[in-house]
Each structure stands twice: as C-alpha cells, then as structure tokens.
Amino acid sequence: MEDQRNNGTPQAESNEPGPAVQVEIAIIADDGTISIPKSQAQLTLVEVADIDLLLSFADGSFVIIPGGALDATSGQPPIIVFLDDIQSASLQPENPKILTLNELFQQAEIVDIARKGVLRVASSRLIGTDADEEFDVNNPDDSENGDSSPSQSSAPPQRVTSASPMVDFNQSSEPSGDGAGRGGNVPNLPPIEVEEQENVPDQVVPRPVVYEDALEIENVSDAILVIDRNITDDDIINIAEQNSTIPITGRVYGDADTGDLVTLTVNDKVYSAPINPVDYIDEETGQVDTILSFSIDVPGADLVADSDSSIDGSLTTIRETVFDQEDYRVDVSPPKPTIDLDQITEDNRINLQESGEPIAITGKVGGDALSGDTVTLTINGQEYTGLVGEDFLFSIEVPGSALITDEDQTVEASIVTADDTAGNPSEVGTDSKTYLVDVEAPVVAAEQTLSYEENQSPGDVIAAVAVSDNVGVEGFRFTDSGTSESLDGFYTITENGQILLTETGSRGAHNDFEDEPNSFDYSIEAVDAAGNWSAAETITLRVTNLDEQAPVVASDQSFIYDQALTSGSVVATVAAEDDVGVTNFRFAETGNNLSANGQFRIAPNGQISLVSGGGGAGGTYDLRIEAGDAAGNWSTPEQVELKVIAIQEIDATPPVIPEGQILSYAENQTANNAVGTVAASDAVGVTSFKFSATGNDLSEDGFFRVESSGRVFITEEGIAAGVAQNDFETGENSFAYSFQAGDAAGNWSAAVAVILDVSDVDESSNTPTVTLVNDTGIDAADRITSDGSWTVGNLESGATVEYSLDSTDGTDGTWSTTLPTIGADDTYSFYVRQVDDAGNMSPGTAFSFTLDTQTTAPIVALLNDTGPDATDGVTSDGRLDVTGVEAGGLVEYSLDGGSNWSSSFTPVSGLNDVTVRVTDVAGNTSSTPFIFTFDKTAPS
C-alpha cells in the first residue's frame, strides 16, 4: 500500500466486503502543532493509552496522538487543530476556542498504563474478537505466531457497536518521529481479518490500543502525578471549610508504585502520604480494577493563608521526583447585609391614639442585602417579619399596643440574606431604634378664674392657664375655634398657656371694667409633645377695675431745719394721700429721688434728707414734689418749702400737725404693714410722734402704732381681731385717731385728729398676697430689709402654697411647694400661687425684696478744724462732717454713749464725746465715736 500518512487521512482497508474501523494518526507539524483530521464537535471521548492519547468520535472512528500523554505536561503544550472544522466552515462553532494539548489531556480517562518500566502492548487485532486466543509480546513464540492476548486495562471497557471487521494499521516507512507512536519505522502489515457473523448483538469490549504486533518493547521511566482538579466541590474554600480539614486527592501513573511518597506544600507547610492501591468496580462491566491514588488531609486554615492559593505537589519514586500544581480559590468573606430603621413615628413618640392603631415600621437595607430578603422586627419579645422590596425598602405593620408595652421601648431589626456562591452563610445585619411612649393627656385645671386689670394694650399677657402633664405641655387651643385664637377674635393663647389680648379684644368690654359684663368664659384644651390632647375645660377671664386715681401731695407744706444738721439727716417728711396707698416720691424737676441742686434726697416714705451740709442760716429751698402709687399713677407736683435756721440755744416752739389729714389704705393688710404717714412740721425738726390717748406709740385699741417718722402701722392685734380697720365690708370704713408730734427740745404739738380710711379690695380674685414679716429700716414699705422672712395671705382654707422661681409666673411648669432659698445679701424675686382642695390654681403673685444685713460704719470728722493745727480736734466750728452713709440712710447722734439718740447735734462748750450712728434703708446700724473740743470763747 502507498504511504498515506502525509495526506492526513490514512484509512483502514478491508480484504473482505464490509465496513472497517477507522483508526488514524494525528499529524504533528515541525512547530509542534497537532492536526486532527476530524471535527471537534464530533469528539466524544479522550483516553490515555500508555503514553499516547486516544480520541473517539461520534462516527465510531479513532485518532491517536502519539506521545500525547507525555507532551501534554511540557512547559509549552502544543496547539490542537481540528482539520474538518477548517475545511468546512459551516461545521465550525460560532466562537471556536483555541485548544491546547494540555487542555485536551485534562479530559482524558486512562485505558492502559506502564508499570515498573515495561510498556505493555496489546494485540493489533480488535481486542475481544477471539477470546480464546492469547498473545504475549514478551514471548517470542507468540510473537511469531502473530497471535496476541488482550492487555488488562485499568479504564472501564467501552461499548462498541457495529464494529468493522477490518482494521488497517499500515504506516509509512519514512521516518519522521522518535520512536513507536511518534511516526517511527513500522512494518507494513496485512489487514486483520475479522470473521463476520450475522445478528451479533452489541459487544462490550475493551477499547483497542493501537500498537503493532511486532513493535519493539521499550522501557518507560516517567512517573506522572495528577492532583484532582477540584479540591472541594466548587474548588472554593469557604468559611466552614477554612475551619475544617480538607482531603487533597489525586492519582499517579507511569513508574509510580505503592508506597511512593506524595508531598504537598501549602502555606509553606509540608504534608505527605504514601501512594495506596485502590480497587474499584467498573459500573458497566462489573470488573474490579485497581488504581494508585493518594489522599492527604490539609487544614483549611492553611489553604486560606497560602499566598498564591496553589497546592504544590511532588511524587518521589525510586528513580525520580515529578511535580504537579493545583490552583483553587478562597472566599471567606460572608455576605454582609445592613439595615437602617426610620423613626418609629413622625415624632418618634407613641401617643394614646397611635397605641390603638397598627403602626408601619419602615427602613431601608444595604450592603449585600437583596430584594426579597426577610426583615425581622422584635418588639416586646414578639417577632414580626416582612420582605425587602425592589427599591430595597421595607414596611412592616406592628400593633401600637405592642410598642407601648415593650419594656425598653426599642424596636430591634435584623436581616439575613442568602449564602454566597462559595457557600458562606450571611452575617446578621442589625439596627435598633428607641422611641418614647406617652399615652397620658395633659389635664387643664378645672374652674380657673383668671383676673386682669382693664386698660391693657394689644399683645399684653393678661393671664396664664394652669395645666399639668406627666411629660410636658407643648401647646394650647381654644376648643370653639380649634386654633390658638378664640372664635370671637378677642384673645390668643401661646404654646406655654399665656393668654394675650388682641387688637379687637382691647377695644370692648374685655378691656374696660365700666363696660359690663366683666367675666367671659372660654373652653381651653392642651396638648403634649406626643400629640395627646386634654379634655376641654372652661376658664373664666375677668376684667378688674384699674387704680386710675393718682395720689395727692398736701399743699402749702413748709419745713424748718437747723443749719447744723449734717449729711444723711432727715429734715422733713412730705405728706401725701391715695385711695389705695402712696408707694413713692420724686422731685418733679429730675424725675427721681435726688433734687436738682443735688442737696436733698427723698425716700419712698416721703422723708427728705440732706445729701451734704445743712446750708447757710436763713436759706430757703422750694422743692416741687410728686407722689406715686403702685399702679404707676403720679400726682401733680406740689411745692414744699424748706427753711434753714441758725443754731438756737433754746427751742420753745412745739411742732405743728396739719389739720384734716386722711390716710387711706387698702383692706386685707398683713401685720406691721405701713398704712400711712402723719405729716408734721417744726422750727428745728420733728423727732417723734405719739397717740395722745395713750401718750405712747400704741393706739388705745392696740390696732395701730406710730414710729418717730410719723409712719403708722397696723399691728398683729389689729389683724387678729378681724376688725373693720382691715375689712371694708365689715361696716364703718373711717376711723379717727389723735396724734401729737414732738421735737428734740421736748416740745409736743397740740393733739390733732387724723382719719384712717379703709378702701375696698376686689376679693373675688383668689390671688394670694405676699408681705415681709418685718420690713426693717427707715421705710417699712420699701422691701429692703435685714430680715428675709415673709408671709402669704388671702389663702383659702386648706389651700397649698406653691412657688415659681423662674420669674415668668411659672409658665414653664416650675411650680413647687419648696420655699425659695434665701442666702447672702441680694435681691430675690419669685411668684406665689395657691392651689385649693379642688385643684383650682390661682394666678401667680409676683414678689421681690432686697436682703441687706450689713452696713458700713460712718466716717466722722470736723467740718472745719479751725486754729493753727487742722488736725488737733480743737475748733470754734462745732459742725460735724459725716460721710460713708448709704443712700437713704438715717444719721443720728448720742451724747450719752448710746442711751438716747437725736437726728440733730448741738455741740457744747468744751469737750464733746459724741457717737454717730447710721441706720441704712434695711434697718442695719453702725456707729462711730468721735471726740473733739468746741471753743468759741475769744481770748481775754
């Protein structure tokens, strides 16, 4: 036969009619490219036949790649070209893949292997066609006879149907390879005859190994190590596998033998085990075959830690060491979903209404979360679930009742997503949201009557609604309008409960006591931060009459004082009256308590004192004085005359009390409150007053007392008696008491009746009164005192007294029964209200006072230390210069060591031992002794 190798398709020929089994040899080019005269699409099986590769195709043909099993492991494995795919473009795949011999080899199954250096060659006839004949290539006799025995293959047998009776193994005689199977010299052999039989069933026969009968046997020394491609099911190490031991398995071929050592290097650590034979049963033939394999346990942690994720393996036989490498992947990062809860409600509070409704808990997910994942909410030990939407948002309805009963008032959310492709389970994404629960509505105090004076301006605060809540009130509304403005438009109410008069309300009866009616009812509701609204309560707003009458300063008042009086000395007491009460005085020219010439100061009780020395004898000062009341009304100015006289040796003129004086004061006074001041004048100075009926400072009935300045006080006896002198409604409202005024010389005025007139107070208001227990000092009504105690009056029986220290009438809810703490000298301000047994709350009464418990000692010196030595204390001018006196302080003098005191001082010829005492406006006293020699006698 001619050489058909070079035409690429050597064909088996038949000597007898009938189809032949086609076995062809792959063509190996000079550059190593291997050409297969078939189409890749028809390839059905790749097997290892000793050192060659045997390819099976769908048409029952075979192609041998000589030495392919060895060349596949070279550093640059050759490229495989399927010629039919090139010749017939229509048979090529749309995207043909470049296939290498290595990749083809990885698809191989083992048919026969070399053991112990001897290449076993099967008969060139179809194995199994004559089971009775045996042939041993190692027996020359059998070789000559041309009979062969089938070799024992370690691969499972292949079912071959409709086998052709003839196979032609003739090859070219031209050398083109290195040895058997690679194009070496092979003798031409006649075709093998196969006896044809009719109706022969499909036979299960071993795959033929295509070597010629008389082929020379050569030793095979190469061993092969093959690590199984997938070290796990997916060839990826996951978290679970990281924490376990993974068996690394594989097979060995060639001259490897049982007991040879396989070594694996992972993460710079060495693991080894010997080769073991393993028997297995062929599923199709039922025959038992033996393979050489290994299995080595490697910790998953080392596989994860390995820097290149590659197992380096070696096989050491008696003759050599061969290598293999297997790559894998690592994924020990679990899916990490995240979850973010929104606020539980818009204000993050559950109110009474919401507690009875379903509430949608919403949020969003992120990270590795997927739409369709389940979100779990845990509330009060109960779980609620929902699915994540396509927009990665979720909304799960839960009962409001569950939210309000949750002990820690916290919604806990969690999400778990699907395992990743490596099989790692998801982490749990969590979030929590704490909320507030307030299911208690505020309570507006019932039956509140809030009074305010007429003549308010638009926008003025006229009252504050009393309300309580367990957390805090956030707003108010009028029930009829549902807004902060009343339906009639006369009032508005603020978030803190203050009621303001509107422009419309200021123009009618709501702002004018004389325009009846004076009381108006409105229904009020309060709301807290959680949105709970109180029940509606009716409050009464009542307009009261304003004190619109200004005081009146008595006209034609004239006072005389001694020029020897020094700074701080009281030289006069201005008389004024008011239907409620005079509370202040001022000089008309300056609008304050200091005269325009800076020489005089007037106190709130009307006493005029010297700022500097008394002035020259014969001088006259005309001062225009105004009196004011608590309502801010000021009288018209009245001129008061002050005359300065020279020192008199004898004062025989008694003081004078003007006739017709009426002292008006409001009812419901508290003990020791000043109700008025009796006016008197004297050529030198008034120093004391007394009731003519008793001859002392206490009235005959014990209800009043008078001090040396002429101020009249109601006593504790007068309060306790509950007499008409303190109650307008009792009956008689005017009471006459006879007074006398005295001077330093002991002269007493004639007795003059002074009327004490009680005025009415609107007692319908339940506002408490607050007064100092002892308003010490010069002015018993100026609230400047050294005694910081007070009393609260006008209280209903059983009422509770509450205080607010925030200077806003307690509108921020800071009412408490705790008394204000009074400490160091300072000005203290607070509000006082009463809460009766029914829970009604009065408006707050503002009260303030100044605590002053200390004063400085006066500095005393001669006004003019005459003579050669200006510091020897010998002078012909006996006037004293007293400095360091607080504003409003009273200066007094004593010549007997403090037993008797006078507001003026007259020196005596010779040695003068005088003590100067200062009493400040709070009643604190301090004294300084002073000695000098008065000498007016001229030398003889």
Q: What values do phi and psi take at 541, rounded to 5?
A: -105, 125
Q: Are residues 416 and 281 in the same domain?
A: no
Q: What values do phi and psi take at 52, rounded to 5?
A: -100, 170
Q: Are residues 368 and 271 in the same domain?
A: no
Q: What is the pLDDT of residues 263-300, one digit of tens each?
A: 999 999 999 999 999 888 878 888 888 889 999 999 99
Domain harbouring 278, CATH code:
2.60.40.10
Give the model's pLDDT for residue 185.
34
* Rounded distance between C-alpha atoms, residue 908 and residue 892, angstroms: 17
Pairing of strands 329-330, 236-237: parallel
Q: What is the pLDDT of residues 637-666, one digit of tens each?
A: 999 998 887 655 457 789 999 998 988 877
Pick left, alpha or beta for residue 459 (phi over 0 → left; psi -120 to 50 → alpha; otherwise beta): left
Question: Predicted confidence band at 613 (pLDDT cuts at 50, 70, 90)?
Answer: low
Which distant-in-sequence residues (6+ apart) come within 8 Å of 578 by Cβ?
549, 550, 551, 552, 627, 629, 633, 664
Among 544, 565, 594, give the residue marking a domain's end: 544
* Rounded distance between C-alpha atoms, residue 715 and residue 705, angstroms: 7
At residue 355, the 3 state secondary structure works out as: helix
Burial (0-12, 13-18, 19+ Cβ within 10 Å), 208: buried
Asked if the structure places residue 214 within a domain, the reply is no
Give the model's pLDDT for residue 210.
40
User: Hey, what are 494's tokens?
Assistant: 């603020």
Q: Of 236, 421, 431, which Cα lies nearest the Cα of 334? A: 421
Domain harbouring 566, CATH code:
2.60.40.60
Q: Of 727, 668, 709, which Cα lies nearest the Cα of 923? A: 709
Burial (0-12, 13-18, 19+ Cβ within 10 Å), 216: exposed
In this prediction, residues 162-175 reach a mean pLDDT of 34
Q: What is the pLDDT of residues 94-117, one digit of tens each?
A: 555 578 887 788 777 655 433 333
- 889 or 17, higher pLDDT: 889
Determine the distance from the C-alpha atom of residue 126 to the mean position of all C-alpha atoms in its chain, rounded to a whole number.
88
Burial (0-12, 13-18, 19+ Cβ within 10 Å), 839: middle
Q: Are residues 557 and 687 in the same domain?
A: yes
Cα separation values, 392 from 337, 364, 415, 537, Å: 11, 6, 12, 49
Q: Name the percent of the chain in helix, strand, coil, to the closest 5.
A: 5, 40, 55
The structural domain count of the chain equals 6
Has residue 122 got a pLDDT over 60?
Answer: no
Q: What is the pLDDT of residues 59-107, one digit of tens each?
A: 888 899 988 877 776 667 888 888 887 755 444 555 555 788 877 887 7
User: Hey, what are 714's tokens?
Assistant: 């109601």
Pairing of strands 519-528, 473-478: antiparallel
* Rounded distance between C-alpha atoms, residue 609 and residue 593, angstroms: 10
Q: What is the DSSP letter of 937?
A: P
Has residue 303 got a pLDDT over 70?
Answer: yes
Lowest mean pLDDT among 15-29, 150-164, 208-222: 150-164
* Rounded distance between C-alpha atoms, residue 118 and residue 218, angstroms: 7
Q: Are residues 138 and 171 in the same domain?
A: yes
Tell me the helices (H) and strands (E) count for the chain, helix number first: 8, 67
Cα separation values, 12 from 5, 192, 420, 683, 835, Å: 12, 10, 55, 166, 124
Q: Are residues 612 and 522 in the same domain?
A: no
Q: Determine contact, residues 83/37, Cβ cutoff 8 Å.
A: yes
Question: Predicted confidence band at 744 (pLDDT cuts at 50, 70, 90)?
Answer: confident
Q: What is the pLDDT of residues 780-803, one digit of tens each?
A: 777 888 888 888 888 887 888 888
Q: Determine contact, residues 81/95, Cβ cutoff 8 Å.
A: no
Q: Across the beta sheet with 382-387, what order do the strands follow? A: 382-387, 374-379, 410-416, 429-434
Asked if the structure places residue 466 within a domain, the reply is yes
Q: Of 929, 826, 926, which Cα lies nearest the Cα of 886? A: 926
Has residue 772 got a pLDDT over 60?
Answer: yes
Has residue 148 got a pLDDT over 90?
Answer: no
Q: Of 41, 33, 88, which Cα lies nearest the Cα of 65? A: 33
Place of tokens 């339940």: 766
Q: Determine contact, residues 605/674, Cβ cutoff 8 Å.
A: yes
At residue 89, the 3 state secondary structure works out as: helix
Please state, as a whole number, how many other Cβ atoms lie within 10 Å of the Cβ of residue 239. Answer: 18
pTM of the model: 0.39
Asked if the structure places residue 783 within a domain, the reply is no
At residue 343, the 3 state secondary structure works out as: coil
Has residue 180 got a pLDDT over 80?
Answer: no
Place of tokens 């004078």: 656
Q: Determine contact, residues 756/737, Cβ cutoff 8 Å.
A: yes
Has residue 118 got a pLDDT over 50?
Answer: no
* Rounded distance between C-alpha atoms, residue 689 and residue 668, angstroms: 25
Q: Is the dihedral of CA 450, 454, 457, 458 positive or negative?
A: positive
Give the model's pLDDT for residue 809.
54
Q: Across the beta sheet with 890-894, what order do the strands follow? A: 874-875, 925-934, 910-919, 890-894
Give the model's pLDDT for residue 333.
93
In this prediction, residues 426-453 reach a mean pLDDT of 91
* Rounded distance between C-alpha atoms, residue 677 and residue 607, angstroms: 10
Q: Of 723, 678, 823, 831, which Cα lies nearest the Cα of 768? A: 831
> How does the average pLDDT of the chain come out, rounded?
79
User: Hey, what are 897's tokens?
Assistant: 């060591």
Asked if the structure places residue 8 within a domain, the reply is no
Range of the domain at 863: 859-934
Q: What is the pLDDT of residues 677-707, one digit of tens each?
A: 899 988 777 889 999 999 999 999 999 999 9
At residue 819, the 3 state secondary structure works out as: coil
Give the model's pLDDT for residue 717.
86
What sections of 193-299 are H helices per DSSP?
A: 239-242
Q: Are residues 325 and 274 in the same domain?
A: yes
Percent of the chain beyond pLDDT 70? 80
Has residue 838 got a pLDDT over 90?
Answer: no
Give the model's pLDDT for residue 223.
87
Q: Are residues 561 and 681 in the same domain?
A: yes
Q: What values do phi and psi take at 20, rounded to 5?
A: -120, 150
* Rounded distance between C-alpha atoms, residue 288 and residue 159, angstroms: 17
Asked if the structure places residue 853 within a domain, the reply is no
Pick left, alpha or beta for residue 349 (phi over 0 → left; psi -120 to 50 → alpha; otherwise beta): beta
Q: Are residues 146 and 166 in the same domain?
A: yes
Which distant-in-sequence residues (6+ apart) come within 8 Å of 672 by Cβ?
713, 714, 715, 716, 773, 774, 775, 780
Give the model's pLDDT for residue 290.
86
Among 728, 749, 767, give the residue marking a domain's end: 728
Among 728, 745, 772, give the residue marking a domain's end: 728
* Rounded distance between C-alpha atoms, residue 362 and residue 381, angstroms: 19
* Rounded distance between C-alpha atoms, residue 430 and residue 337, angstroms: 9
SS3 track for 433-501 = EECEECCCCCEECCCEEEEEECCCCCCCEEEECCEECCCCEEEEEECCCCECECCCCCEEECCCCEEEE
Which distant-in-sequence residues (6+ apart) come within 8 Å of 823 by Cβ?
none
Question: Predicted confidence band at 589 (pLDDT cuts at 50, 70, 90)?
Answer: very high
Q: Are residues 599 and 615 in the same domain?
A: yes
Place of tokens 């205080």: 803
368: number of CA atoms within 13 Å, CB side?
Answer: 17
Asked if the structure places residue 776 within a domain, the reply is no
616: number of CA atoms within 13 Å, CB side?
Answer: 2
Q: Are residues 584 and 662 in the same domain?
A: yes
* CA torsion, ordered 66, 71, 72, 75, to nearest 10 deg: -160
Asked if the structure places residue 5 within a domain, the reply is no
User: Hey, what are 97's tokens?
Assistant: 């893949």
Pairing of strands 752-759, 734-743: antiparallel
Q: Are residues 42 and 125 in the same domain?
A: yes
Give the model's pLDDT for residue 728.
67
Question: Predicted confidence band at 44 (pLDDT cuts at 50, 70, 90)?
Answer: confident
Q: Are residues 324 and 366 in the same domain?
A: no
Has residue 381 got a pLDDT over 70?
Answer: yes
Q: Determine contact, residues 432/412, Cβ cutoff 8 Å.
A: yes
Asked if the structure places residue 835 within a domain, the reply is no
* Rounded distance between C-alpha atoms, residue 737 and residue 694, angstroms: 11
Cα separation values, 252 from 55, 152, 535, 552, Å: 21, 18, 92, 130
For the ranges 4-8, 200-204, 223-227, 834-838, the one whose mean pLDDT is highest? 223-227
* Rounded distance between C-alpha atoms, residue 247 and residue 273, angstroms: 11
Give the model's pLDDT for residue 510.
87
User: Hey, what are 665's tokens?
Assistant: 């004061």
